[in-house]
Structure 1
Amino acid sequence: MRWAHVGLNCRDQCVTEEFYSRWFGFRRSRAVPVGDGEILFLRNGDAHLELFPATGAPAAPADGPAQPGAVRHIAFRTDSIDALLAAMGDAADVTLGPLDFDEVLDGWRTVWLRDPDGVVVEVSQGYRDEDAIEITERELHV
């Protein structure tokens, strides 16, 4: 089993495509006609986004919706949050942070942004997995 993609509902697919292409390095890999519109497929390495046409107003708090069944946010890693935010300028709709998590992991910083459709995008620098993690049945709630 391998990860496939995240599907996003977009008010304006071109605006959303430009956001993820410009700031996160995605490029269109396919466009599939559906009815009067199309579904756009974007790719950055092994990460894929699928952009659907949609209507309606977004509703997402600072780090994403908390209700069950809703995606809270999508996330990316960067070498420098400060450089990303400087490059984005007014295009960075920051909802939370940047926050430092040095008490957990030295050098870990995170900022949350809203994409053109209101989807919360988390961007972190300095995160890394622990060297060895043992997962017990209790931790898995089995």
Structure 2
Amino acid sequence: MRFHHLAIEVKDLETSAAFYQKYFGLKEEERFLFNGEKIIFLKADDFRLELISSTEQSSSNPASVHLCFEIDSIKEGTKPFIENGIFAIEGPYKLDNGWETVFYQGPDNELLEFIQVGGKAD
């Protein structure tokens, strides 16, 4: 398992992207629309920042930050959760870019995302 990205919800996607590019030297890696949210990934070396702008505030999880871990296989990587009766709160989803993602809630209601960016399909 590897840390993949930190995500924050922002009010103005373009303003936030410009800020992190100017002051942190991050470069735009990718942008897309997913489930009504506009998303930009910014990257520097092995660090990724996901900026999320949504037209709706999530009522199921008011947190504005989530942690994402890259795993080789969604099915295998989430097996310990399922075996212990902890089920995904969202997903799994297959994104247009080929990534697979699923969300769980941690013990203090933190949002944990697991993402498979390559390798075998589950």
TM-score band by shorter chain is: 0.3 to 0.5
Q: If you compute each CA radius of gyration, which structure gives the higher value, 1 or 2? A: 1
Greater share of strand: 2
Q: Give the alignment's TM-score, normalised by structure 1.
A: 0.37
* Higher RCO, 1 vs 2 (CA within 8 Å, ≥6 residues apart): 2
- TM-score, normalised to structure 2, is 0.42
